Amino acid sequence: MEKILITGITGFVGSHIADLCLNKNIKPYGFKRYHLSNMRNVNHIEDKINWIDCDMMDNKSVTKSIANIKPDKIFHMASQSFVSPSWDHPNLYMDANYKMTVNMLEACLSAGINPKILIPGSGEEFGEIYEDELPITETTVIRPVNPYAVTKVAQDLIGFVYYKSYGLNVKRTRAFNHEGPRRDKVFGIPWYAYQIAKIEKGLQSPYMEVGHLDDKRNFTHVKDMVEAYWLAVDKCIPGELYLIGSEDEKDIHTFRQALDQLIELSTNKEIKYKIVPKYVRPTQVPFLICDNSKFRELTGWSPKIGFKKILTDTLDYWRNIV
């Protein structure tokens, strides 16, 4: 049976990839830091994962771990992914998102292996996109406007360098907004759902604090996204770039529309919200809406779960947490 390694397995997307592996009767390998990893997202499958104590910021740790596993496929999900703190921690974000990737790629070279490696980028890399440039394609000019996005550009391009320089089997994607259960409440939709869940239980007054609401996105359910990643690692051409996200008009919304729909789903119909400066980022990304035709035509992928299910799954998740 093939050996699958998921870096960042304890995170939002990584834990869902682990679920998918287990559904396919594959027991994945996963990195965790021996005393730092938050295991909440994998509590339900903790005993079904081949755990490796590894801190990806440490080159020796990664080199030793990769050599021991010799994976056939790597889903490289480990990253600093929350945009807002990147302004205050730009070196941390670059060290994590760039250096962890280099450590992994170098470890593969050191071990003399050439696994299929998925390096998932972000739509945030495109940054300042104007409405007349939509939908975004693989050839759209990138204008990143936050430190996180720059680090993801660096991660993506160093993957391309290792493909060109050493022939590593790197698969490059940029995923647009994907949401669902286990997404941390520091992001928009889970932050709204978390507050609504608290309001419903009487733990918060019916007034929500939110950030900027008028950026428009195409939203994809995390379960659809991990299905796309599964196809990507097998079918995408090494070195090529592919965009992944729903193209359905019904999945394109502003955050204000998402918030209003979540409030409609609440048992409390008196909820109000206000924009609070501390939740507003220094720069905005008004439009992230992709054309996924290159990926779709290669793999046959299309999302199956609609936007309302994204909202209900997220809200129900936080109702069970708070």
Taking alpha carbons only, the member of 8, 4, 313, 314 closest to residue 155 is 8
Angle, vertex CA 90, rays to CA 191 and CA 228, nearest 5? 55
pLDDT the model gives residue 321? 95
SS3 call for 186 = coil
Superfamily of domain 4-178+222-244: NAD(P)-binding Rossmann-like Domain (3.40.50.720)
| Domain residue spans of the chain | 4-178+222-244, 184-217+250-285+305-321
CATH architecture of 184-217+250-285+305-321: Alpha-Beta Complex (3.90)
Q: Which of left, alpha, beta for 242 (phi over 0: left; psi -120 to 50: alpha)?
A: beta
Note the helical H segments in the chain.
12-23, 59-69, 90-94, 100-111, 147-166, 188-200, 222-235, 255-265, 293-299, 307-321
CA distance 285 to 270: 30
CA distance 14 to 19: 9
Torsion of CA 295, 188, 125, 231, to 10 degrees: -20
Contacts of 260 (CB under 8 A, 6+ apart): none
pLDDT in tens, the chain (322 residues): 899 999 999 999 999 999 999 999 999 999 998 777 889 999 999 999 999 999 999 999 999 999 999 999 999 999 999 899 999 999 999 999 999 999 999 999 999 999 999 999 999 999 999 999 999 999 999 999 999 999 999 999 999 999 999 999 999 999 999 999 999 999 999 999 999 999 999 999 999 999 999 999 999 999 999 999 999 999 999 999 999 999 999 999 999 999 999 999 999 989 999 999 999 999 999 999 999 999 999 999 999 999 999 999 999 999 999 9
How many residues comprise the chain? 322
Q: Could you tell me the two tokens for 184? A: 């941390």
